[in-house]
Structure 1
């Protein structure tokens, strides 16, 4: 292993990152790092991935560089923890990834050809499905349930669609949205209201899927836009010597429209 006395002695490579993790988890390293397990690090890895996605969507290259490093560090931790348990090492991970993606690109590494990207995508899904068939008893098996709910719903729906369980066109989904909305508005019991609201959201996700929209990303962008406009409203109120919290809803609506028209 590299001499750990300074950061310059850890090479600028994935192996260097693994060396850093090994040192941090050694007796000469950090007690907290030594205590971590794959499971204990999982929530932090998920948080880092969200931060990475946020930096990509904001097109902030400084944040992107940092967040890519954070995610890579977590991957190095996971590999090193697995290695200490004799499960697999870095070479195994890279070999598995390379083998998988060579297999999934027969149009590049074999003699297959496709007329369109849509046909290529269908073939990709077919190859992916065949890889997983041995691990699944049912069509919806193997979908992680701990991912964001909207993403989970969209993946469930896509998997069901590939099995032939889907509306023929978007009109059917729109009709289902109206049906679910009516059911929600006519519920009196709180538990029923929660269930019907969930059904409505699930159907809206289907509507987005039919439009080839990443629903999770769409809502995330809507959240970002709302934050931006809300902050701009507060700034505009300050510029007008107004206390935002004390304004009437009509005055706040006027601020909102002003900000919206200026963006």
Structure 2
């Protein structure tokens, strides 16, 4: 028995109606979705931390989620793990004719364009629109980037980054106007959404993953604020009772320390 077969057998044992685990038997398609998302994020975090010991474990946890869904499908007579593996194998071969067929591509960019073209033809064959199939459960920044990439693949995009900056300033002005007018909160929310969407466009044209950029910014904020808290503790102070100028000075201190590293 190989390791994959062993994992599939363990999953079946866990779901056994009589002798299985009560918690695992109680799960269904929807109940484990939050766990799947959590495991995917933990994989991403291990990669960003360069923690490959953790990554091995996290990839196992994520694989277990795939096996879980396949077990549900098997119990309902829909498909099984082998069907899933066979499906992705066929898709990869179909979408890489330059590897498994006679097509030729010049570089990674050309291959990416060819990949999107194959996907687009598959969607058209199903009668799907260009933006159909972009999961609504994706994080908003990632989904915005994906939507923009789909549109850009057919030429609906700015040619360079300069007009994106112009659009960014336009959206900032519209947000300011909505705030100054004191209109309904929905109007402010709409303008802020437009601004964030343009920021994703800016990131895309700069070759930056907006999700990763924001995660890095979050970490930087956490790191610097932790420095502020630590310095305040050394002074016997509480953040809530400390004037903002004092905390700002400690924040600047944290920035300077980072520059010297």
2:121 is aligned with 1:130: yes
**Match for residue 35 of structure 2?**
44
Q: Is the partner of 2:138 in helix, strand or coil?
A: coil
CA distance in 2, matches of 1:42, 1:12: 27
Between the aligned partners of 2:256 and 2:49, the Cα distance in structure 1 is 21
Gaps spanning 5+ residues in structure 2: where? none
The one of 14, 22, 27 equivalent to 1:24 is 14
Aligned length: 253
Q: Distance in 2 between matches of 1:17 and 1:193?
A: 50
| Cα distance in 1, alignment partners of residues 103 and 166 from structure 2 | 41
Deviation per CA, 1:184-212: give whole Å up to 9, x if none.
11112122111111111111111111112
Match for residue 170 of structure 1?
Answer: 161
Alignment of structure 1 residues 87-166 onto 2, 5 Å: 87-166=78-157
**Which is worse superposed, 96-105 or 73-82?**
96-105
Q: Secondary structure at the match of 1:100?
A: helix
Q: How far apart, CA to CA, are the structure 2 residues paired with 1:39 and 1:244?
A: 41
Q: Which residue does the alignment assign to 1:15?
A: 5
**In the alignment, which residue of structure 2 is the partner of 1:7?**
none
- SS of equivalent residue, structure 1 residue 137: coil
Q: Does 1:63 align with 2:54?
A: yes
> Among residues 208, 213, 237, which one is paired with 2:208 in the alignment?
213
1:179 has 2:170 as partner: yes
Q: Residue 228 of structure 2 contacts residue 250 of structure 2 at CA under 8 Å; is this kept in 1? A: yes
Assess if the C-alpha contact under 8 Å between 2:95 and 2:115 holds in 1: yes
Alignment partner of 2:198: what SS? Answer: helix
In structure 2, what is the Cα distance between the partners aligned to 1:136 and 1:143? Answer: 15
After alignment, is 52-61 or 235-244 more displaced? 235-244
Whether the 8 Å CA contact 2:70–2:81 is kept in 1: the answer is yes
User: Shift in Å at residue 158 of structure 1?
Assistant: 1.1
Q: How far apart are 1:168 and its partner, in Å?
A: 2.2
Segments of structure 1 that go 5 or more residues without pairing to the other structure are 1-10
Equivalence for 2:249? 254
> TM-score, structure 2 length as denominator?
0.90
Give the alignment's TM-score, normalised by structure 1.
0.90
8 Å Cα contact 1:136-1:142 kept in structure 2: no
CA distance in 2, matches of 1:241, 1:51: 36
The Cα shift of 1:99 comes to 1.5
Aligned partners of 2:123 and 2:130 also within 8 Å: no
Runs of 4+ in 1 over 6 A off after TM superposition: none
**Contact between 2:11 and 2:68, CA under 8 Å: does it hold in 1?**
yes
